[in-house]
Structure 1
Amino acid sequence: MSSRTGTPPLRKPDQVLRHRLARSACEVAGTRHSPGDVLAWMDERAQVQTHEVEVIPFDELDRWGFDRLTGNIQHDTGRFFSVQGLSVQTSSGPVGSWTQPIINQPEIGILGILVKEFDGVLHCLMQAKQEPGNVNGMQLSPTVQATRSNYTQAHGGAAVPYLDYFRDFARHRVLADVLQSEQGTWFYRKRNRNMIVEVDTEVELLADFQWVTLGQLNALLAHDDAVNMDARTVLSCMPAGFEGAHDTVGDGLAEAIARSCDAYAGSISSSAEVLSWITSRQSEHQISTELIPLRSVRNWRHTEREIHHESGGFFSVMAVRVKTNSREVSGWTQPLIQPHGLGVVAMLVKNVDGVLHALVNARVEPGYLDVVELASTVQCSPETYTKLGMEEHRPPFLDHVLSAEPGRILFDTVLSEEGGRFYHARNRYMVIEVAPDFGGDELPDYRWLTLHQLNGLLQHSRYVNVEARSLIACLRGLR
């Protein structure tokens, strides 16, 4: 006890937690079930849950409509989200100004994973959840995945299971709690609260929920469209690594990743230099955005079933009708954004003196709250450059990624983006190893960072974008 009466003892870094997380990450076969068992359970839940999604014309939207003055798509309660227009002017990229539709959802939602120890191993409580935009219906989701409109029951439906653990957690242990951004090309300044809470009391296990180790989640991340985006972003905020990894013996990938998570293993740039570089990118790039009426966007065509760019690139705004027996309400209609083409999100990595480094990009997107966030080495939809006739403006390293030798590809999986707002939005997530003498950081918007440096930035808001967070979650689990 402190010398000051009533003052609790000073807290010190919890190395035990890091070892407990490491043990969970090593537990793939599982004391309760295997990754294959989890996939089989998800298939079983998909058979029990009914989830019908029908693409509909805009005039069949119920409780949604186009505002007479602005043309914005909005709900009659004024809650949930709206689709508006955005005017952009920027000094970054080949196009200096444009307008586009964008989702405006100013409320902050909760994405939370509940953690509990079984048989000496930490497990995460995951949900088998269907979303209207999911290409395969069922995906593994966080314990809680809810907008404020949902968990305050603006839809008049049932309460969100397990929500109280993330709204009243004084009796539990918080492992992570940070506001993180969503897609800056489709969302306007959208953020969600990413939370991980550990409990040591009994937790009722509902039918659509299952306890899964970190190792099993890492294995499931290698399956196409198995682990949803909201689960991946929360997992990326999980504390990672432990002191002493710099003494790890071996020159394999797992050892290089372990050392990359340890500050004492070293890095190409110091953390102070990384922060200075990010600040320089925030200062050098200029972008100005303004919400405008949806009817004022230029070069976009409005039909009875979609709003699309005249080039056929980028994305469309469309609408769906949903019928289900597994959500807070049994049916609804809503607008969704439908991207055009399969995206590519790829991270180049290299082993520098036994420490894995990742090449990240300080990326400008119109929906960010700040000017830039750190993205993967490559993040784009190659098809858009073809449709726009802008092949000469393809991003750096894209051709290197697409022509990578199979032996250098460490991770290659197609994963879905958020199915509650996007329809069949999928990216090919890749991790590709390059030679230790590979450059890249001669370009001002690129730097080589360790996982320890990225993990540190992930404890704060608005540093690492959602696509990079997904890939970091995948990268940590490679062996």
Structure 2
Amino acid sequence: MFSSTAEFHHWFAQACAAQAHQVTRVPLDRLEGWSLQEGTGNLVHRSGRFFSVQGLDVQWAGRDVDAWQQPILVQPEQGMLGILVKEFHGVPHCLLQAKMEPGNSVPVQLSPTVQATRSNYTGVHGGRPVPYLGHFLDPGRGRVLSDALQSEQAAWFFAKRNRNMIVRTDEDIPLLDGFCWLTFDQIAELLQIDDLINMDTRTVLSGAVGLRPPTRAAAADPDSFHGALAASWEPQGRPLHGSAVLLRHLARAKERCTLTRRLVPLADTARWTMHEGVVTHDTGRHFTVLGVRVEASHREVPGWSQPMLMPNTRGVAAFLAKRINGALHLLVQARTETAAMARVELAPTVQCQPADYGPGARDGQGPAPRLEFLDTVLSARPDQIRFDTVQSEEGGRFYHARIRYALIEADEDFPTELPSAYTWMTVRQLIGFVRHGGHLNVEARTLLALLGFLPATPAVPVGAAAHA
């Protein structure tokens, strides 16, 4: 337990220094334990477990490019992401871990108490057991506060889901090396820092937003942003639309969705080729499939090799917000997700790699249509930006993948009536949807965690000028 975040940062610096690690790029055709499968060219592990890299054929996607092929990560097993919560002196604390992931741009970040694939926690790698796992596999030892199957990045994972759990315990918990207890308020401060709290922690925390009502509610000026945010938390919430209307909105979007997708051999994936040990698109855009060799002192095994996906540009995920009936509403998109199990999920207002919408983005087919609301986000004035931070994506599979996450409050004259894919939701409505699982995509869940854990004291957005 830390009396201040300054004390945490001192501990974290020591925890990072204690973890020896090295990540070395290796050609895919020389990855130890991996091979290009004869006949398909798929990248597979010799155990037949963990994951593979295959091809995906997409048709009738309903986007500006309606059909394409691409490499995709196929990991049919579900992972476990869990945060253990315990009260100390009447204050709930979360048990988090300083953990190195090979793809992190900042190697060591704060991960959940448990972050493991089924292959890992069943010992396929032959390594050490996963600490604290029993609290989640046997939740009868504590009180389950949140438990939902949630999707992963559907642009790069095929139908991938993880179990997200928060379990409260009254047991005496031994504090192992590299783990720490943090209060929700301390986590709120740390979420404002770029590349510190990893994606897996953020998605689990989205299920904890409802456990931490805003402490500023009583004192907030109802005409201020924080007053509108507090109203958005209230049970009545003064929402523009009721929950039944929102469920119909999502159901209609799924009904309209024409997307079909099927796995194809990686070797037959159009416009993608292996050259000099990596798989790239013939335009040099989108992402690269590369190989790494990892050595790490504080992981279940001291070393391993694996393929990873590396996006070639930084992404943006942002909610536009507007005060309606005195309560903050977020503009939510029912978005076709290429490889999501549900095909359509609720997503941020804007979610893309902006470079894909610039000159030449459609490979000689003329300029790509400008994405709806992208210019509104990218040209937002500093006084409209309520938070702005750059965060790493899942560092176990993605190499230096980072997204700018922002909340932009639109001007008063921003229209309320919008295209059919979009709708307005309050914070409380988003909390209700996320707890059921399978409704909000991972980018929307990160934004909900960032919004739900805004510090009680308003502050200048972190990095707003640098991220613009």
- Summarize the Cα distance change of 1:409–1:171 in structure 2 as closer, same or farther, 3 Å threshold: same
User: What are the ranges of 5 or more consecutive residues in structure 1 without an aligned counterpart?
Assistant: 1-30
Q: CA deviation at 1:371?
A: 2.3
Q: Which amino acid in the other structure matches residue 49 of structure 2?
A: R
Post-superposition offset of 1:256: 2.2
Cα deviation, residue 239, structure 1: 5.0
Q: 1:364 aligns with which of 316, 327, 336?
A: 336
The residue matched to 1:210 in structure 2 has which SS? strand
CA distance in 1, matches of 2:39, 2:220: 66
**Does residue 235 of the first structure (1) align with residue 205 of the second (2)?**
yes
* Secondary structure in 2 matching 1:265: coil
Which one of the candidate residues 357, 381, 385 is aligned to 1:409? 385
> Aligned residue for 1:168?
138
Instruction: Spell out the pairing of 1:128-143 with structure 2 (5 A cutoff).
Output: 128-143=98-113
1:153 aligns with 2:154: no
Q: How far apart are 1:253 and its partner, in Å?
A: 2.9
| Offset, 1:243 | 12
The code of the aligned residue for 2:415 comes to G
2:78 aligned partner = 108
Query: For 2:60, which of 77, 80, 90 is the aligned residue?
Result: 90
Aligned length: 449
Question: What is the CA distance between 1:33 and its match in structure 2?
Answer: 2.7
CA distance in 1, matches of 2:368, 2:417: 21
Is the Cα contact below 8 Å between 2:159 and 2:341 reproduced in 1?
Answer: yes
Match of 2:194 among 221, 224, 237: 224
| SS in structure 2 of the partner of residue 84 of structure 1 | strand
Partner of 2:436: helix, strand, or coil?
A: coil
Alignment partner, residue 17 of structure 1: none
TM-fit CA distance, 1:302: 1.0
Q: What does residue 388 of structure 1 align with?
A: 361
CA change 1:343–1:239 in 2 (3 A) is closer
| RMSD of aligned Cα (Å) | 1.8
Kindly state the Cα deviation for residue 175 of structure 1 after the two structures are TM-superposed.
0.2
Identity %: 47
Correspondences of 1:22-421 after superposition (within 5 Å): 32-240=2-210, 250-251=221-222, 252-386=224-358, 387-389=360-362, 391-421=367-397
Corresponding residue SS for 2:333: strand
Native 8 Å contact 1:110 1:147 kept in 2: yes
CA distance in 2, matches of 1:69, 1:37: 56
1:284 maps to amino acid: R
8 Å CA contact retained: 1:245, 1:259: no
Residue 139 and residue 287 in structure 1: after superposition, are their counterparts in 2 closer, same or farther (change >3 A)? same
The alignment's TM-score, normalised by the length of structure 1, stands at 0.91
Deviation at 1:101, TM superposition (A): 0.4
Q: Report the counterpart of residue 452 of structure 2 in structure 1.
A: 476
Counterparts of 1:177 and 1:344, CA distance in 2: 28
Deviates more, 1:353-362 or 1:38-47: 38-47
1:165, 1:276 → 2: CA distance?
37
**Is the contact between residue 245 and residue 265 of structure 1 (CA under 8 Å) also seen in structure 2?**
no
1:429 aligns with 2:401: no
For the residue of structure 2 that corresponds to 1:264, the secondary structure is coil
Report the alpha carbon displacement of residue 435 of structure 1 after superposing the two structures with TM. Answer: 2.5
* Distance in 2, Cα, partners of 1:440 & 1:62: 55
1:447 aligns with 2:419: no
Inter-CA distance 244–324: structure 2 relative to 1 (3 Å threshold): closer
How much does 1:114 deviate? 0.2
How far did 1:136 drift? 1.0
Letter in 1 for 2:278: E
What is the Cα deviation at residue 441 of structure 1?
Answer: 4.2
TM-score with structure 2 length normalisation? 0.93
SS at match of 1:263: coil
Query: 1:248 deviation in Å?
Result: 7.3
State the alpha-carbon separation in 2 of the partners of residues 143 and 211 from structure 1.
10
Aligned residue for 1:283, secondary structure, equals helix
1:10 maps to none
Structure 2 CA distance for partners of 1:243 and 1:476, relative to 1, 3 Å = closer
Q: What CA distance in whole angstroms lies between the structure 1 residues aligned with 2:176 and 2:286? A: 40
* Deviations 1:214-258 (CA, angstroms, capped at 9, x unpaired): 111111111110100000000001151669999876223333222
Deviations 1:64-104 (A, max 9, x none): 11101111001001100000001111251111211110000
Cα distance between partner residues in 2 of 1:243 and 1:163? 31
Opposite residue 198 of structure 1, the aligned amino acid is: R
Aligned pair in 2 of structure 1 residues 91, 422: CA closer, same or farther (>3 Å)? closer
SS in 2 for 1:86: strand
Structure-2 residue corresponding to 1:7? none
Report if the CA contact (8 A) 2:238-2:325 is conserved: no
Q: Report the Cα offset of residue 361 of structure 1.
A: 0.8
Residue in structure 2 matched with residue 465 of structure 1 by the alignment: 441
1:31-61 deviation per Cα after TM superposition (whole angstroms, max 9, x unaligned):
7332232233222111101110011112321
